[in-house]
Structure 1
Amino acid sequence: ANASRWLKLPGVPFAFQTSVFAALILNIYVARYLDRNKDREITFNNSFVPILLPIFLVVGLIFPANGSTGILIFLMVLALLFIGGYPMKILLSIIGVGIIVAILFITIMLKFPDMFPGHRVHTWKSRIENFAGGEGEESYQVQQAKAAIVQGGIIARGPGKSAFKQSLPQSSSDFIFAIIVEEYGIMGAITCFFLYLLILWRIIVIATKVENIFGTLLVVGIGLPIIFQAFSNMAVAVNLIPVTGQPLPILSYGGTSMWVTYMALGIIISVSRDMIPEENIKENNKKEDVNYEIA
């Protein structure tokens, strides 16, 4: 569908999706920048080249060919900047500039589609129109996904007994949640949703108990995109949002996505080694209470 997201290296028998690696690396870079400048006043002038320019370059390169991933990266980086104490006025300006640039790009591409080869603006338009009640490939995918979910119901068909696995396009990636519900029923759906909530809970626990700011920002920056992707994938399968093409982390077919997800989880587990022991947290809370009473 005019998508060009994979890079094939000469002499290597596989390709990888560069935007997935870019998202991971950019979030690590932003977390490191915020940690190194936590005691320094951040302004637009002294932060434009080291932090804002890389963000706009990465998102700008990804957005035309993979709009949902570009938006996801942009939102996650903004959340990371907000948590890291980046000035709110500059953040609001970044959001405004991003919205204006995106609207201008989409408008120009709709009027002059041959100006920028490889863009997916017409695909985005088609997906939004189909979500609003139109007919097309995306509408067919959603109808098949909802039918698979209905077939699952309370009493599941059983592992490997999906009837829609062959007829539902992208059943192993974009719409794998519908197949999970069909084969494992409502309990499978609840279990899947609960497991991602559990991962989110562990991310929050680790982020709030590590001893250094860099660890907190790193866990948030590379952990939240995993959860956001998961919930986006599930929302598409039940027709809550338009088709985005986001995979279901860990479960969807796709080598690059799986490798990068495992790398992110490995980094989070590594950071968890620096978590403050529960005994130290209780002692610190007691000391704070004593100091408060004395004051």
Structure 2
Amino acid sequence: MKRLIGNLKGDKVIWSFVALLALLSFMPVFSASSNLAYLGRGTGNTLGYLMKHLGHIACGFAIIYFVHKIPYQYFRSISKWLLPVVWIVLAITMIKGTVIGGANASRWLQIPFVGISFQPSAFAALVLFVFVARYLSKTRLKKIDFVESLKELWLPVFITLFFILPSNFSTTALIFSMILMLVFIGNYPFKYISIILGTGLLLLSFYILVAKAFPDAFKNRVDTWESRIESYLNDKPNEDDYQIEKAKIAIASGMVYGLGPGKSVQKNFLPQSSSDFIYAIIIEEYGLIGGLGILLLYLLLLFRFVIASHKATTIFGKLVVIGLGFPMIFQAMINMAVAVELLPVTGQTLPLISSGGTSIWMTCIALGIILSVTKKEEEIVQEFKDAAKREEALQKLIDRELAEEDEVEEVYSIDDRANNPIQAVINK
């Protein structure tokens, strides 16, 4: 175990928080999966879902380990070449996407001959964040030309978002807002950001108008978006009210200390109890203390991302940590806000805690890249320490040689006085 921990490089505090969140996920997932087990198999046995979640977490940590061993600079060029591949996969998902876990959107792609379902939008977000960080680090020291940035930066961004938008508005909005935050931090001119924001809103409005005018022309979820927003703003009943009401009952039942592990009642009624609404189940079973504890862990992880970004030795490294770390925490806040009805239903999972392979694995890839950045900083610090040790050892060697020379000269001086008669008379 000590040898294994010794092979884990990078920020040990981030490793610790990630491991703690993963460990804390097992009991809520095990408890919340009972309704899925009952509906899927008719037995109510959640052990299979627990083992599946264990497998996802184990694969996730293997991903973190192997990714954090790769020098993070390699992802700089990889992101550019992966974008066209992402577009192709997203286009296939738009045409042949499948529905999984009771969600009413075709966001998953079934991998042939493997039997694994994959959500391409999560992977597209990772590639896009690294791509934006690459562009910002490349243009950091020169004046940005807006027309050129439209071609090199914003055209790829809007193409990617166009493929994600029809089936997943919340993910599209999250990615776009995080990119705007990233370019603002990366010193992209604010007046250009305002133009891009306005353009994005105009394109979204145009998409909604076309979808409303030609509802059968292509797959879209505009009616679902409208229903959720109207329900949130005007208390108008819709299909999501059932989940919200059950989540509110779960939170109210938990009170301060909770009902206890595995004693949730609303897990049997919430369709997405192990994923989108797992935070409500956590509060029901572990109370306000458990809910605030999870929130605190994410905030501490955010604080550690800020420190890691500050310590990074390159602009690209700083932007990558921000671009991959902040969306992770922001997604967690959205999930919690939905559970307590501060936001309309979005479908965002709770990173590292909610069940689901794609969500866990994409989060782990992001964490691996962040840890690779912190690993490089540690290597540089270690190189300085090694250089200082070598310099200190060399100085000690020189001091010892000088001391030995002084001793030899002193011996010769004593011998010369002893053998010199004149000096002997003077001494006498």
TM-score, normalising length: structure 2: 0.63
Please state if 1:226 is matched with 2:325: no
Residue 15 of structure 1 corresponds to which residue in structure 2? 117
Q: CA deviation at 1:74?
A: 0.5
Taking the aligned partners of 1:264 and 1:16, their CA distance within structure 2 comes to 16
The structure with higher relative contact order (CA 8 Å, sep 6+) is 2
Letter in 2 for 1:213: I
More displaced stretch, 155-164 vs 173-182 = 155-164
Find 2:221's aligned residue among 116, 120, 125. Answer: 120
More displaced stretch, 259-268 vs 3-12 = 3-12
Taking the aligned partners of 1:172 and 1:9, their CA distance within structure 2 comes to 23
Q: Deviations over 1:108-162 (max 9, x none)?
A: 222321122x211111111112213011221111110000001100131111111
Q: 1:2 to 1:191 in 2, by over 3 A?
A: closer
Taking the aligned partners of 2:362 and 2:142, their CA distance within structure 1 comes to 32
Quick one: percent identity of the two aligned structures?
Answer: 50
Q: RMSD between aligned alpha carbons? A: 1.4
Letter in 2 for 1:204: V
Taking the aligned partners of 2:374 and 2:107, their CA distance within structure 1 comes to 33
Instruction: Give the SS at the match of 1:81.
Output: helix
Instruction: Give the SS at the match of 2:268.
Output: coil
Map residues 10-159 of structure 1 onto 2, 5 A cutoff: 10-116=112-218, 118-131=219-232, 132-159=234-261
Q: CA deviation at 1:13?
A: 1.1
Instruction: Give the SS at the match of 1:125.
Output: helix
Instruction: Please list every run of 5 or more consecutive structure 2 residues that lacks an aligned counterpart in the other structure.
Output: 1-102, 385-428
Letter in 1 for 2:291: A
Taking the aligned partners of 1:70 and 1:155, their CA distance within structure 2 comes to 37
Find 2:277's aligned residue among 156, 172, 175. Answer: 175
Residue 289 of structure 1 corresponds to which residue in structure 2? none
Name which one, 1 or 2, has greater alpha-carbon Rg: 2
Taking the aligned partners of 2:263 and 2:229, their CA distance within structure 1 comes to 32
Residue 317 of structure 2 corresponds to which residue in structure 1? 215
Matched positions, count: 277
Question: Conserved in 2, the CA contact under 8 Å of 1:207 and 1:219?
Answer: yes
Taking the aligned partners of 1:159 and 1:267, their CA distance within structure 2 comes to 34
Q: Runs (4+) of structure 1 moved beyond 2 Å?
A: 273-277
Q: Deviations over 1:62-91 (max 9, x none)?
A: 111100000111111111111111122211
Q: Which structure is higher in helix share? A: 2
Find 1:268's aligned residue among 350, 370, 379. Answer: 370
Question: Conserved in 2, the CA contact under 8 Å of 1:145 and 1:175?
Answer: yes
Letter in 1 for 2:222: V
Q: CA deviation at 1:243?
A: 0.4
Letter in 2 for 1:249: P
Q: CA deviation at 1:211?
A: 1.3
Instruction: Give the SS at the match of 1:80.
Output: helix
Q: CA deviation at 1:2?
A: 4.7
Letter in 1 for 2:228: R
Q: CA deviation at 1:7?
A: 1.3
Taking the aligned partners of 1:273 and 1:138, their CA distance within structure 2 comes to 44
Taking the aligned partners of 1:172 and 1:248, their CA distance within structure 2 comes to 10
Instruction: Give the SS at the match of 1:8.
Output: strand
Residue 293 of structure 1 corresponds to which residue in structure 2? none
Q: Deviations over 1:180-207 (max 9, x none)?
A: 0001011101100000001100011111
